[in-house]
Amino acid sequence: MEGKPRETYQPWKPRDTRPGRTGLTLQQMAFLIVVNAVIALGISIAVTLTLGRATPTAPAPSPTTPRLASPVASPAAAATTPAQATTYTVKPGDSLSAIAFQFGVSLQELMAANGITDPDVLFAGQKLIIPVPGSITPVPTSTPTAVPTGAPTLAPTNTPPTGPDLRIESVQVLPDARDSVAVITNWGMWARLKGWTLDDGQGNVYTFPDLSLFQGGSVRVHTASGTNTEVDLYWGINKAVFVSGRTLTLKDTTGKVVATYTVP
């Protein structure tokens, strides 16, 4: 037929079935190689990451208590021969303290080993025993304590007063010889002296007015004239009655002798 293109037919060729022949073009083979390389790389990366996560981390070693080394028994120390005391001959210029220092002993040990009581007494040529330091304990010299003899003195016991205790303490004659004074003190309980008397043994009697004396209180009785007060009473004789050699007697209202005093 006219107007149609004419078909061209290629001659048939048998397919190459030899090993290594795929029948692919070079472009297709290059594409497959790249794809396989990418896939292999991806698989390698995935396997590496998977192995990195799955690999357990080795636990850190826990601290352990160190073992103590078993004590090794040290060999027994060799028996030593105890030091022996030596002797020393005193030379001129030596002193006992210097010798003690030289041999490393105390002065007391050196004195005790040689029976020396005075460290300043030393003679040239004298032989001294040098003791082993610490082998002698010096005996301290003790001072005997004096034992008191006789019975012990007991401290006085203060007994509280149970009543008045009036005493004539002293007598004084004044220079003008017209007055003499007797001092009376109450060392006991309160006392009322109204009606009490004081006489000189020569017929002169003084009667106390209404006067009270508390414990520790005193009153002075004058033989001269004057005005009575709480601490001074006046007899009105106007001469010294309380003279040397006379004995004064103090009596209460019943006539009982309370106190006496002889004027020196």
Instruction: Assess contact for 49 and 43: CB atoms under 8 A.
Output: no
Rounded Cα–Cα distance for residues 166 and 161 (Å): 12
The angle at the Cα of 119, spanning 118 to 121, to the nearest 5 degrees, equals: 70
- Going from N- to C-terminal start, the domains of the chain cover 86-130, 166-262
Rounded Cα–Cα distance for residues 264 and 173 (Å): 11
Instruction: Tell me what pLDDT residue 60 has.
Output: 54
Tens-place pLDDT, residues 103-160? 988 888 888 888 888 888 888 888 899 988 877 665 555 555 555 565 566 666 666 7
In sequence order, what are the beta bridge partners of 166? 186
Residues in the chain: 264
Rounded Cα–Cα distance for residues 125 and 30 (Å): 126
Average pLDDT over every residue of 236-245: 89
Quick check: do 86-130 and 166-262 share a fold?
Answer: no
Q: What is the mean pLDDT of the chain?
A: 78
Of 63-67, 123-127, 181-185, 231-235, where does mean pLDDT reach its minimum?
63-67
Instruction: Tell me what pLDDT residue 48 has.
Output: 74
Instruction: Tell me what pLDDT residue 146 has.
Output: 58
> Is the domain defined by 166-262 classed in CATH 2.60.40.1260?
yes
Instruction: Tell me what pLDDT residue 143 has.
Output: 53
CATH code of domain 86-130: 3.10.350.10
Instruction: Tell me what pLDDT residue 216 has.
Output: 87
Is the pLDDT score of 2 beyond 80? Answer: no
Helices marked H in the chain — which ranges?
26-54, 96-103, 107-114
Instruction: Tell me what pLDDT residue 85 has.
Output: 79
Tens-place pLDDT, residues 45-88? 877 777 666 555 555 555 555 555 454 444 444 444 446 778 89
Q: What are the residues whose beta carbons fall under 8 Å from the beta carbon of 108, sequence distance 6 or more?
A: 138
| Torsion angles phi and psi, residue 261, rounded to 5 | -155, 125
Instruction: Assess contact for 136 and 109: CB atoms under 8 A.
Output: yes
User: Quick one: pLDDT band at residue 30, thresholds 50, 70, 90?
Assistant: confident
- pLDDT over 90, % of the chain: 31
Q: Which two tokens stand for residue 31?
A: 């594409």
